[in-house]
Amino acid sequence: MSSSVIDEQAVDALFLEELRDWLSDHLVGEFAAARGVGGIADDSRWELRLEWERLLARDRWLNISWPQEYGGRGGSIRHELLFHIEHARAGAPYWVGSQGRDLFGPTLMAFGTQAQKDRFIPPIVAAEEFWGQGFSEPGAGSDLASLRTSARLEGDRWIIDGQKIWMTFGDHADWLYVLCRTSKEGPQHRGISMLLVPRHQPGVEVRTIRNIAGGAEFCEVFFTGAETAADLVVGEVNQGWKIVMATLGNERGGTTVLPFLASFERQMDDLLEHLRSRRGDVDPVTLDRVVRSWQEYRVLRQHTDRVLGAVLEGRHPGPESSLVKLFWGTWHRDFGELLMEVLGQRALDEPDDPLVAEHRRVWLNSRAETIYGGTVEIQKNIIGERVLGLPR
């Protein structure tokens, strides 16, 4: 074994020791009682999670690989990933700034101007400003290239008109990163730009959407003559498609999936504990489904480890990240149905029982996971064309 490998392992060991000690000291009280609460698309316990996020930011645990001048530690991608793994494993509350921190922030670091980075990155890392993603529209969901929200340049201002939907945490956002059609010439995907738009202005109306499980993390947003500065374009005008693809790659793979996997692990453990408590009072067919579900979850973990391995090596996950999104959405949908089947009549007779309520919430929320973040059909197309090399 080379000395460089030994040195790397020693540095990792010191980093993990510091991180685990910090989590042990701070994951106490209300934070400990809220272990595992929240997620990248879950608005529960917002204020508590905000307090936890600001505690992490204070001690520079967030965006470890980002430069120190932006609030990071200037560390390695490896340590960034190790942090996410340990944070998820500890069951710590999931921060509320995921849209800015995990999706928009990396995009801005890669494609933004120096002035944009200096203005927006530090408040993201410090949990002082929050972002909403303006991509999907009522008629342009998975087919983003057909979007119709428009932006025209008038002097030193962009004027924006249109509608966006399914904006996660949009009602908490201070700024929105919005895909707009800035040209009607040429192929659809070549006339798109990403604009940074202040949310608090007369031309922006945000309406919350309550989902089937009672959550209100989604919003629809209406732009009516909304304005933003001419220089608040990420990348070149009309060349926003590659930036969109980079952002969606961040969303479908890498560290953003870790909190989901941590919650899936806890849900599986809860199911197994429930079955043990019934002391054999479960039919063999249901038990067989549980075993197969557990096996499929391990397959999901293997695919995720492969994507995370690419990140550790400094590579972008690429189209292979679609495998994770495909397995994740379909597996969890089926697992939610399995939870309700195991509960049986109890799901109707004891709706207020904590276990029943939690399993019902998982089941209802899982129905949308084959749609948001890229539908199952879109993921299959990406895998077929870009991973397997099949014709369109």
Q: Where are the domains of the chain?
A: 3-96, 131-238, 253-387
Residue 131 DSSP SS3 = strand
Q: Which residues are marked as active site?
A: 251
CATH superfamily of 131-238: Butyryl-CoA Dehydrogenase, subunit A, domain 2 (2.40.110.10)
Q: Which CATH number fits domain 3-96: 1.10.540, 2.60.120, 1.10.10, 1.10.3470?
A: 1.10.540
Q: What is the pTM of this model?
A: 0.84
Q: Write the class of the CATH domain 253-387.
A: mainly alpha
φ, ψ (nearest 5 deg) of residue 183: -155, 140
CA torsion 296-297-301-307 (nearest 10°) is 60
Same fold, 3-96 and 131-238: no
Cα distance between residue 155 and residue 160, in whole Å: 14
Nearest partner of 94 among 27, 165, 159, 146, judged by Cα: 27
Q: Report yes or no: 294 and 267 within 8 Å, Cβ to Cβ.
A: no
The tens place of each residue's pLDDT in the chain, 392 residues long, gives: 444 545 667 888 999 999 999 999 999 999 999 887 887 777 889 999 999 999 999 999 998 989 999 988 998 888 888 898 899 888 899 889 988 988 899 899 989 999 999 999 999 999 999 999 999 999 887 777 889 999 999 999 999 999 999 998 999 999 999 999 999 887 777 899 999 999 999 999 999 998 888 888 899 999 999 999 999 999 999 988 888 877 776 555 556 677 778 788 888 988 998 888 887 777 889 899 999 999 999 999 888 888 777 766 766 666 777 888 888 889 999 999 999 999 888 888 888 888 888 889 889 989 888 887 778 888 898 889 888 899 98
What amino acid is encoded at 5 in this protein?
Answer: V
Q: Report yes or no: 293 and 335 within 8 Å, Cβ to Cβ.
A: yes
Structure-token match 């980093």, residue found: 15
Cα distance between residue 105 and residue 98, in whole Å: 9
**DSSP code of 37?**
-
Structure-token pair, residue 116: 């944009």
